[in-house]
Amino acid sequence: MPPTAATITIPEMLTLLDGPHVGLAEAVAHDHYALWLGSGISLNRLPGLRAVTKKVIGFLQSRVELGNPACRFRDALGRVLAVAGPTKDELARCDLDADPATWPDLDVIAGRLVNQYAQMLNVEVDGEPQDYLLWEAVDVPNTYADPGKEPDVEHLCVATLIVEGVASEVVSANWDGLVEKALAELVGAALVMRTHADSMDLRQTPLRANLYKFHGCAVKAKADPARYREALIGRQPQVTAFPHPAAPMRNCLVGLATTRHTLMLGLSAQDADIQDLFVAGAKDMAWGWPCDPPAYAFSEQALGLNQEALLQNVYGAAYKPYTRAAIKEQALVRAYASRLLPALLLHVLTTKARFLADLAEARLPGPEGARIAAGLARLRDEIASSNAWDDGSTKSFLRRVGYVMSLLHMGRGRRPSEGIYKPITSTPVQQFMDDADVRASGLPEASVGAGLLGMGLEAGDWSITSDDPVLPKAAAAVLKSGTGSARIYFSATAESAIQLRALGIVEDKDDAIIVHSSALPPTSVRSPSGSFGRRGKTWVREVSIGALLASNRDADMLMVRFREETAL
C-alpha cells in the first residue's frame, strides 16, 4: 500500500518531489509560492480546536452558580451546547452543575463544535466584552503566547525557507508566535521578516519576508492588548465581516491570492473569510487550467469539502466534470506538513547547490555537469535517510548547515548572537544566477566539491557521516573508507582558510582535508605520497576545486584528480 500523509518518509517524499511534484518543488525554490499556514502545523505544540471547545465548556461550567437558574454562565453554557445541536437525550445527559469530564457525550459535542467554533466563540456572557470567551476562556494570550512553547519541525522548516529567501510571503491563520520564535533561533537578532497582525503593521519598513497574521497575533496582543486584542479574529461576525476594519490587510491577501501560487499547510480553508479572499482574487484574475506548477496545492491526506469548494471557485469555468479529477489530483500533496516541509527544504538546498555548481568559472559541460548534480542529489538522499526529522534532529541538521556555511565563508563556527543557521544564499535561484558577487563567493566551487563527495558516496568509495558542531575541531563531514577516515573542511577564500588554522580548528598534524574554492595558499601541502589512514604520520591535505575544474573537463577525471590531491 502507498504511504499515507502521516507515514510517508522524507526519502519517499523526495521521490515525489523529483517526480510528479517536481513542478511544485522547483517553483518553491524560485519563491513562486505563498505559504498559507493553519493550525495543523502547531497541533503537537498547542491545543487543537477539539481541545479549545472542551476548554470553553469547562471554563463556563466552572463558573456556574449551583442552584441558580438565572446564572449568566449557566445561560452561556446552555447556548454553547445549543451550537453543537445535541439531541434531547444528549442534552439531558449534560449536567450543567457537574464537571463536564463526567458527561458521557462530551467528546461527541466537542467534535461537533469544531466545525462551529466561530459560532461558539461568539456566544456572549452577560456583562462581559464580546470577545470574553476568546480572551478569557480560550485564554489566547497565555495559551498561544506561552514563552515556554518551542517550535516544531514545521515552524523550523518554514523559518528556514524564509531565511533562504524562497518563502518571502507567508500567510498564517494562527495566533501563536512559533514561526517567529523559530526564526529568531535561526538568525538571532538579524532583521529578516516583518510580522503584520493588523493593517497598520503593513506600513512597516519592508524586509526580506512578510508574515501576515490575518487572524491576529497572540504575542502582540499580550504585549499590547490596547491595540492588538481587537485584531484577534475567532468569532463568527469577525470571520464573516472580514475585512472590516481590516480592509488593507484583506486587499494585500487578495493580491497574494491573485499573483502568487498557493501552498496550504495545515489549513482546512473552512473559514468564510479565507474562501472570500480566494474568490475575490479569482474575480480579479483567475488562474487557468492546465497550470504547471499547480496554482493551488494542499498538504493533506485527502482534500476536504472546503478545499474542493475553493478549487471550484478559483478555477471557475475551467473546473468541469472532465477536468475536476485532474485538478484535484494535482492539487493534493499526500503528506502532512511535518513530512513535506523537510523534504522541500532539502530539495531547495540541493537545487541551489545544483545551480551554483553551474556558475563555476570553469564549469563542466552538459552531461558532465549533470554528474555533479547527481552527486548532490545522492548526498541529499543520504542526509534525508540518516535523520529522524523530529524537532530535535531537524534543529541539529540546521545547526550543522549553519556551521558548515560559517566555516566556508569565515573559517569559524556560529556565534550565539548570530543564531544557529546561515543560508546558502538569502535569495531564490533566479536572483543569484546573474549575481557577480555570488559567482565570486566560492559557493559555486564548494557546490562542485560537495557533488564530488556525493559521487564517491554513490560509487561506494567512502561513507559520509556528520560531525557535531559543538566539537572544537568539528568538520563539514567525516569521510570513511577501507583505509581510514578524514575530516573534510570547505573554505571559500584564503582568509577563511587562514582562520581555520588560527583558531586551531585545523592543525598540521590532523588527518584532515581542506577543500578550497579558489587557489591554494602558498604553504599548502599538495600531492602527498601516501594515503590517509595508513601507517605513518597524518597531515592536512588541501585541494583547489577551481584549479581542478580549469584542467579537467569530464567528471570521472575530475574525481580521479580530486582523489589524488587528497590521497583518498
Sorted by sequence, the CB contacts under 8 Å of residue 38 that are 6+ apart come out as 172, 173, 174, 264, 265, 266, 267, 268, 269
**How many CB atoms sit inside 10 A of residue 4's CB?**
13
> Does residue 363 share a domain with residue 333?
no
The pLDDT score that the predictor gives to residue 119 is 96
> Distance between CA 220 and CA 141 in Å, rounded?
9
**For residue 194, what is the domain's CATH number?**
3.40.50
The pLDDT score that the predictor gives to residue 438 is 96
The pLDDT score that the predictor gives to residue 537 is 57
> Distance between CA 375 and CA 389 in Å, rounded?
22
* Whole-number percent of the chain with pLDDT over 70: 96
Residue 403 near residue 413 (C-beta atoms within 8 A): yes
pLDDT band of residue 244 (cuts 50, 70, 90) is low
Residue 446 lies in a domain: yes
Residue 343 lies in a domain: no
**How many CB atoms sit inside 10 A of residue 338's CB?**
25
- For residue 355, pLDDT beyond 70: yes
> Distance between CA 32 and CA 22 in Å, rounded?
13
**Length of the chain measured in residues:** 568
Residue 350 lies in a domain: no
> Does residue 308 share a domain with residue 375?
no
- For residue 214, pLDDT beyond 60: yes
Q: What is the 3-state secondary structure (H, E, C) of 135-146?
A: HHHCCHHHHCCC
The pLDDT score that the predictor gives to residue 326 is 95
> Does residue 295 share a domain with residue 242?
yes
> Does residue 435 share a domain with residue 289?
no
Looking at the structure of the chain, the number of domains it has is 3
522-542 burial, b at 16+ Cβ within 10 Å, e below that, comes to: eebeeeeeeebbeeeebbbbb
* Secondary structure (DSSP) of 3-43: --TTT--HHHHHHHHHTTTHHHHHHHHTT-EEEEE-GGGGT
Residue 395 near residue 471 (C-beta atoms within 8 A): no
- For residue 528, pLDDT beyond 70: no
pLDDT band of residue 534 (cuts 50, 70, 90) is very low
- For residue 526, pLDDT beyond 90: no
> Does residue 112 share a domain with residue 197?
no
| Mean pLDDT to the nearest integer, 419-443 | 96
pLDDT band of residue 210 (cuts 50, 70, 90) is very high
> Does residue 153 share a domain with residue 132?
no
Task: Say which amino acid occupies 230.
Answer: E
> Distance between CA 514 and CA 486 in Å, rounded?
10
Task: Say which amino acid occupies 236.
Answer: Q
Rg (CA), the chain: 27
Residue 483 near residue 450 (C-beta atoms within 8 A): no
Tell whether the torsion through CA atoms of 221, 227, 233 and 236 is positive or negative.
Answer: positive
Lowest mean pLDDT among 260-264, 443-447, 528-532, 559-563: 528-532
Angle, CA of 42, 43 and 44, to the nearest 5°: 95
Q: How many helices (H) and strands (E) does the chain have?
A: 27, 12
Sorted by sequence, the CB contacts under 8 Å of residue 284 that are 6+ apart come out as 254, 258
Tell me 317's DSSP state.
Answer: G
pLDDT tens-digit readout, 254-294: 999 999 999 999 999 888 889 999 999 998 888 889 999 99
| Mean pLDDT to the nearest integer, 85-103 | 96
- For residue 449, pLDDT beyond 90: yes
Q: Of the candidates 75, 110, 143, which is a domain's last residue?
A: 143
> Distance between CA 441 and CA 488 in Å, rounded?
19
> Distance between CA 264 and CA 287 in Å, rounded?
16
Sorted by sequence, the CB contacts under 8 Å of residue 88 that are 6+ apart come out as none
> Does residue 137 share a domain with residue 149?
no
Q: Which residue has the cell 581555520?
A: 500
Alpha carbon distances (Å) from 148 to 25, 42, 155, 396: 34, 14, 15, 20
Alpha carbon distances (Å) from 123 to 24, 70, 137, 215, 235: 42, 16, 12, 18, 9
Residue 186 lies in a domain: yes
Residue 344 lies in a domain: no
Residue 109 lies in a domain: yes
- For residue 27, pLDDT beyond 90: yes
Residue 121 near residue 234 (C-beta atoms within 8 A): yes
pLDDT tens-digit readout, 71-85: 999 999 999 999 999
The pLDDT score that the predictor gives to residue 239 is 83
**How many CB atoms sit inside 10 A of residue 184's CB?**
17
- For residue 535, pLDDT beyond 50: no
Angle, CA of 310, 154 and 412, to the nearest 5°: 140
Residue 347 lies in a domain: no
- For residue 444, pLDDT beyond 70: yes
Is the bond preceding residue 104 a cis peptide, omega within 30 degrees? no
> Does residue 190 share a domain with residue 126?
no
- For residue 241, pLDDT beyond 90: no
Q: What pTM, to 2 d.p., does this model score? A: 0.94
Q: C-alpha cell of 64? A: 456556574
- For residue 1, pLDDT beyond 90: no
Q: Of the candidates 143, 175, 205, which is a domain's last residue?
A: 143
> Does residue 555 share a domain with residue 482?
yes
> Distance between CA 314 and CA 14 in Å, rounded?
29
| Mean pLDDT to the nearest integer, 211-237 | 95
pLDDT band of residue 533 (cuts 50, 70, 90) is very low
CA 230 to chain centre: 29
pLDDT tens-digit readout, 287-335: 889 999 999 999 999 999 999 999 998 998 899 999 999 999 999 999 9
> Does residue 210 share a domain with residue 171?
yes
Q: C-alpha cell of 213? A: 497574521
The pLDDT score that the predictor gives to residue 330 is 95
The pLDDT score that the predictor gives to residue 245 is 56
Range of the domain at 118: 49-143
| Mean pLDDT to the nearest integer, 401-408 | 98
Q: Of the candidates 285, 309, 338, which is a domain's last residue?
A: 338
> Does residue 161 share a domain with residue 58?
no
> Does residue 378 share a domain with residue 302?
no
Residue 436 lies in a domain: yes
pLDDT tens-digit readout, 360-389: 988 888 899 999 999 999 999 999 999 999
Terminal Cα distance for the chain, rounded? 43
The pLDDT score that the predictor gives to residue 489 is 97
pLDDT band of residue 481 (cuts 50, 70, 90) is confident
| Mean pLDDT to the nearest integer, 514-534 | 66
Tell me which of 166 and 434 has the higher pLDDT.
166
pLDDT band of residue 488 (cuts 50, 70, 90) is very high
* Whole-number percent of the chain with pLDDT over 90: 85
